[in-house]
Amino acid sequence: MKKTIIKSILAVIAVSILSLTLSIAQRYQKCFTIKDTDGNSIPFVAVVVKGTTNGGTTDHDGHICITANYDDIIVVSMVGYPTIEVVFGEIGDIIVLPEDNL
């Protein structure tokens, strides 16, 4: 009887730890648009999850979909604009690239 209770408790603890681990590492997909400060969509912007090769470029309308963890850093770069870094979980529908003041 005692061994059965201990095994049950250990099983519950193991399942709880596994569930927590899976929820922490869960990846999400977000789709958004890159625009300039005038509100114009910017095509062919490089968007990459920092430290990985996961990413791509925006389409001709400035749209892209990225899959990442909420705390991943997204690097957004385009010739003529400063490179910016954004926390994936903080991205809304639009990312605005500021003008390059060089």
CATH no. for residue 45?
2.60.40.1120
Would you say residue 12 lies in a domain?
no
Which has the higher per-residue pLDDT, 17 or 34?
34
Would you say residue 83 lies in a domain?
yes
Would you say residue 62 lies in a domain?
yes
DSSP class of 14: H
User: From CA 98, how far away is CA 19, in angstroms rounded?
Assistant: 41
The string of pLDDT tens digits covering residues 22-77 is: 555 688 999 999 999 999 999 999 999 999 999 999 999 999 999 999 999 999 99
Q: Angle 66-101-56 (CA atoms, 0-180°, nearest 5)?
A: 15
Domain that holds residue 75: 28-96
> pTM for the full model?
0.73
Report how many domains make up the chain.
Answer: 1
Would you say residue 34 lies in a domain?
yes
Which structure tokens are listed for 22? 């899976």
**Exposure string over 37-68, b if 16+ CB within 10 A, otherwise e:** eeeebbeebbbbbeeeeebeebeeebebebeb
Would you say residue 84 lies in a domain?
yes
Would you say residue 68 lies in a domain?
yes
User: From CA 46, how far away is CA 85, in angstroms rounded?
Assistant: 12
Would you say residue 3 lies in a domain?
no
Would you say residue 8 lies in a domain?
no
